Structure 1
């Protein structure tokens, strides 16, 4: 590794660790050159590189300062070649996120939210896309806290999305809500997925036994929409964007939080992902799919310990 790159990494690591805080002023170039036993030009080159990455702020005749967004920028710099592996739940908008990351996001979703958190726990994935409604009415945090216990779990907010019943154009069966599903052919997701858990919960609340539903189980929201479009089923619970893609009707049911559950050590490799989620252009593209709220996309929160 070249000397200037070593200096870049050293400063970025100190920012990431909190030793250097946004707004802190670095010593002069000559003093830093003495500390690192190198030349002033090498230090200047390292500072320019970090300034381009958003870690430092440079100004004529002033010493370098740590930039306001330096923590995320430092993580992004240190993990420029990292590929984040995402397991868990399915969502059509994830393809747009992957495209914005240019190969730095590997999606292995499809097993569902619970299995995704299990993959994180086992070290087979960096994060899990989840949308799990707890009996307390809170999404995702209770499940991340339980399944990632001892790993300092965090949540990265992807977006809020609208779930509802996907039905044929014109709604030939006159379906108005979950209570109308018994007796119809209904496509459902596999056990352990957030959408299946939501459907079962809604059926129970409506006074119906989820086990009485007739119809196939599928792996994605698009497959739910395809089953309706081909006439295989009369309805299925899924996201609005899947219905829109196939020109199907959609009966709104609820909005839910769609997050990434991960442990503390995966926050650094996730820096590129967080940065992309905060980009207005990507937010606009996701919102244009229909049924998405991206106003908090990219928010990172630590899952609180049990009260």
Structure 2
């Protein structure tokens, strides 16, 4: 081998050797980074599953590092990663704890790009909410509480908006237990809304309840809609067979109001929102909770929706519609699957 070639090869080997400490350092740093994310994700999975409940105290940094066979700095980075994602809280001189809404934050951390597919009931205020969410929440399937629950059962939706009054007088919970018992069911409270009779200006027939609508043309929602269920319940309570009532069957609250405004129907059952612009009057009958039924695994995907529900501007826009109570908006509660409905 010529001397010139040998010298060049030697220089290349020396240059490669000079980079080896840096390469080893980068490899170690990458491994440490991967380990802290791995630890954080393991803890997030335990929070999402319910194994680590809200306010559960996490092990001390040194203790946990010893158990895991890693460094304290790696555990500190894992805890900070979880705290930045709102899964845990870290207070000075106190151990880390699972945050109050840690299960939601954990699910979002584990599936950051997941779109929440929402099926179910129709509502003017829901349209306002969805208009502010963009692609993070996508409406799917047919409208109505029953179709919404059916979409969740089939895996076509992550959550269903419902307003169904059980014969025991409790809204929604029994139906959520029936559909999502194996999925650790939860309810997200959107708002309470006012349902009542939609009548022409001046209420010419003097209607005060469902008792007076027998023999009239009644604008009704389609079968499977929660408002149709409510109408049938009100009619039965007055001794009127729902099948004996005539009138158009329509797919939204807006169209029910339009039917009365156009003179196609004498009366309709629906929400108060937006009636003043149509020159109609409203006979209040009931306030009802309007909620999203979903399983624990879908709580993370619902996080953008929950964040939007805290926006004061949204509250103002919905309140302006009329007929809404947002006192408990955004509250999330688990549904006890072992609690039977009262007879």
Would you call these one fold, judging by a TM-score over 0.5? yes
C-alpha separation in 2, matches of 1:195 and 1:82 = 31
Within a 5 Å distance, the mapping from 1:148-163 to structure 2 comes to 148-163=180-195
Who is 2:97 aligned against? 66
Alpha-carbon contact 2:186-2:333 (below 8 Å) kept? yes
- In structure 2, runs of 5+ residues without a counterpart are 1-29
Q: 1:179 aligns with which of 174, 194, 211?
A: 211
Aligned residue-pair number: 305
The structural deviation recorded for 1:303 is 3.6
From the CA coordinates, give the structure whose radius of gyration is larger: 2
The structural deviation recorded for 1:287 is 3.0
CA 1:33–1:149 in 2, change beyond 3 Å: closer, same or farther? Answer: closer
The structural deviation recorded for 1:165 is 0.9
Q: 2:110 aligns with which of 66, 78, 93?
A: 78
CA 1:64–1:112 in 2, change beyond 3 Å: closer, same or farther? Answer: same
Q: 1:87 aligns with which of 102, 114, 119?
A: 119
> With structure 1 as the length reference, what TM-score do the two structures score?
0.83
CA 1:242–1:160 in 2, change beyond 3 Å: closer, same or farther? Answer: same
The structural deviation recorded for 1:290 is 1.6
CA 1:19–1:169 in 2, change beyond 3 Å: closer, same or farther? Answer: same
Per-residue CA deviations over 1:1-50 (Å, capped at 9, x if unaligned) read 97365454344334334448636356549x8599586895x776665554
Alpha-carbon contact 1:47-1:64 (below 8 Å) kept? no
C-alpha separation in 1, matches of 2:324 and 2:45 = 36
The structural deviation recorded for 1:58 is 5.2
SS in 2 for 1:241: coil
Q: 1:257 aligns with which of 289, 299, 305?
A: 289
C-alpha separation in 1, matches of 2:54 and 2:326 = 29
The structural deviation recorded for 1:229 is 1.9
Per-residue CA deviations over 1:137-185 (Å, capped at 9, x if unaligned) read 1211222223445444332222211100112223233322212212322
C-alpha separation in 1, matches of 2:224 and 2:319 = 27
C-alpha separation in 1, matches of 2:335 and 2:142 = 25
C-alpha separation in 2, matches of 1:23 and 1:142 = 29
Within a 5 Å distance, the mapping from 1:59-138 to structure 2 comes to 65-66=96-97, 68-69=99-100, 70-108=102-140, 110-138=142-170
Who is 1:227 aligned against? 259
Who is 2:232 aligned against? 200
Question: Which stretch of the first structure deviates more once superposed, 296-305 or 250-259?
Answer: 296-305
Per-residue CA deviations over 1:251-278 (Å, capped at 9, x if unaligned) read 1011112222223433333344344435
Alpha-carbon contact 1:167-1:235 (below 8 Å) kept? yes
Within a 5 Å distance, the mapping from 1:260-271 to structure 2 comes to 260-271=292-303
Instruction: Say whether residues 1:54 and 2:61 are aligned partners.
Output: no
Kindly indicate which of the two structures has a greater share of residues assigned to helix.
Answer: 2
C-alpha separation in 2, matches of 1:242 and 1:211 = 29
Who is 1:22 aligned against? 55
Alpha-carbon contact 1:33-1:43 (below 8 Å) kept? no
SS in 1 for 2:264: coil
C-alpha separation in 1, matches of 2:59 and 2:131 = 37
C-alpha separation in 1, matches of 2:271 and 2:159 = 21
Instruction: Say whether residues 1:304 and 2:337 are aligned partners.
Output: yes
> With structure 2 as the length reference, what TM-score do the two structures score?
0.75
Alpha-carbon contact 2:103-2:300 (below 8 Å) kept? no
The structural deviation recorded for 1:189 is 0.6
CA 1:72–1:280 in 2, change beyond 3 Å: closer, same or farther? Answer: farther
RMSD of aligned Cα (Å): 3.2
The structural deviation recorded for 1:67 is 5.7
CA 1:50–1:306 in 2, change beyond 3 Å: closer, same or farther? Answer: closer
